[in-house]
Amino acid sequence: MAQKVNAGTEVPQGAGHKKVFPPLDQQFYASQLIWLAMTFVALYMLLSRLVLPRISEVIDERGARIRRDLDEAERLKSETEKALKSYERALADARAQAGATVKETRAQLAAENERAKSSAEAQLAAKVAEAEARIAATKSKAMANVTGIAAETASAVVQKLLGTMPSVDEVKKALAS
């Protein structure tokens, strides 16, 4: 019992196709061309009246938006440049003011330093003058004592050498000469 698996699907041999495929049949060409023309005109009218104006509006709106955005960007760019110039000017002014403040402060400190130096020099000069006065007083006192000490020393030396004590007047005469 052998069965054929593809039973009924075979094309009988010798059976040819007698009909032509309808789109390729020449008798339908005229009606196909008329339908093609009518479809083309309908599609053209649909596109030109509805679709293309909407597309044109979208394109125009997009172009206007791009122009507005470019104008806004240009305006912002010019504002940014102005702000940058203003910032640079303010920075230069601040630097100049800082330089002037530094210069002024330096001058004030130099003046204060000079005043302090002058005051210290005056105090030092006063102390030096006072010390010189004390030294002069001590020197004159010492010089006054030197004569007396020299007289006593000379008297003691003469007494030791000669064995006699000279008078005070004789010692003063000898020291004066």
Radius of gyration of the chain (CA): 67
- Give me the chain's average pLDDT, please: 86
Q: What is the extent of the structural domain holding 51? A: 26-176
15 lies in a domain? no
Residue 18 has pLDDT above 80, yes or no: no
Position 12 in a domain: no
The pLDDT, as a whole number, for residue 139 is 83
- The angle that helices 52-162 and 168-176 make with each other, rounded to 10 degrees, is 130
- Residue 9 placed within a domain: no
| pLDDT at residue 98 tops 90 | yes
Residue 7 CA from chain centroid, whole number: 94
pLDDT for residue 11: 58
In a domain, 71, yes or no: yes
Q: Please say whether the beta carbons of 151 and 168 come within 8 A.
A: yes
Is residue 7 situated within a structural domain? Answer: no
Do the domain assignments include residue 116? yes
| Amino acid occupying residue 1 | M
pTM: 0.40
Say how many domains are in the chain. 1
Q: Tell me if 6 is assigned to some domain.
A: no
So what's the pLDDT on residue 27? 84
Q: How far apart are the first and last CA of the chain?
A: 183
